[in-house]
Structure 1
Amino acid sequence: MATESHTASIAGEYVVAKAAMKQAGLVVADTMIDHTEFIKTFALLNGFEVRGNRVAIIANAGYEKTYGADNLRSLQVAEFCKKTEEKLRKILPPFVTVEPLLDLTPMADDAMYEKCIDTILADEEVDALMVSIVPHSAVIHTTDSEIAANAKNVAARIVELVHKHKKPVAVSVCVSPGADAVYNKLGQVLDQGGVPTFLTANRAMLCLNEFIRYHMIRQNGELREWLKED
């Protein structure tokens, strides 16, 4: 009753409206969170070439890469070429498994993130990347004071690499409730540098998927595919 007395008084069936909008080639957001985060993703990644839907994940915590993998939707896990695997083995300690869902462990510092991201984005078998940072690790520069004092912090390195390779990248900065204030500059450097950043891996992957799926369907002209529910 409350909605019918306001905006919904001029609204029709949602299913019909959604179908009409998608036929017109529009992205439809089901929630206000989707709306704002889709806008951010499409704006920051505007002009980035979408070559395919093969995605890799880099995280410094196993649960974050799992969280991302559980929300792939229409994306597919990439497979590294042999050259990439060889380079990563030289970068990573022997106890880290080299795979497209890469867990760097909490021992990863800024430089290890940079080397791994650079190597993976250079792989022609990888079309996109989701990077997850659990910022509480002592060996990575993530707090406001550390970001201010270290120009080569992990956020600055990621921004540089994303614009170097021009492949779609989304970042998750996973912080516990109330702790995000300590890491404000981390997210700000990433967002202001043109890298869409979110507080959870599933939000990062959802937005990355929406961006890639939209552009692939437009490139291929597969309107029927766009009308399907993802």
Structure 2
Amino acid sequence: MQRPIRIGVQLQPQHAPDYALIRDAVLRVEDAGADVVFNWDHFFPLYGDRDGPHFECWTMLAAWAEQTEAIEFGALVTCNSYRNPELLADMARTVDHVSGGRLILGIGSGWFERDYTEYGYDFGTKGSRLKDLAASLPRIEKRLARLNPAPTRDIPMLIGGGGVRKTLRLVAQHAGIWHSFGDAETFARKSGVLAEHCADVGRDPAEIERSIQLPEDINDAREYVDAGASLFTIPVNGPDYDLTPVIKAIAWRDSING
């Protein structure tokens, strides 16, 4: 059975010279009726002025945990390389408690080289970063199971990426949400590969929510829905954080869900 359609909003923490702009945007996203609000885990803007204003991910998530009341939230996605896995698990557990159980633990292997070089992390290779992620995920799960007090719920883990041999197998083993990229045909094909990995590890693929960026033309989203996507995220950039496309997406969601 198709999951209900959900709308996520990624408030990109760039080009906002005053954090109050982001604080206001989070409130507007929740008041508009979105289901999830995300930021991202980078240290510099990804586009526009590459030396423009930017804020850090997890300190921001802790603020959102206090500021919001009902909306789920998280990073799209946390870079595995930037924090010890046990520390990340403890951070997630703490933010989970602060929010009353609304955190999504989004994670990926990392890719933005400037973050690594300017903050002193070893960039390695795509393969080495993916290997590190595979080693970190069981450590995160083990630490979450040992923390006192325990998380308020089984914190949903979102894994971002589309590599068919390694990343999708990690999704099958560990994730509650898979965030992917690409056109609808590619999404459908990789969703099928994910189902094969789930069969290999003895897991029902229906347990994993499929997530994708909402197409620019909202009419194209139907193809993704038909292929199993249910969480659609709209990126919104600072400093103004215009929610016009979000309002349109929420109306579309409501028309689909009935």
Shared fold, TM over 0.5 = no
Which TM-score band applies after superposition, normalised by the shorter structure?
0.3 to 0.5
TM-score (norm 2): 0.32
TM-score (norm 1): 0.35
The structure richer in strand per residue is 2
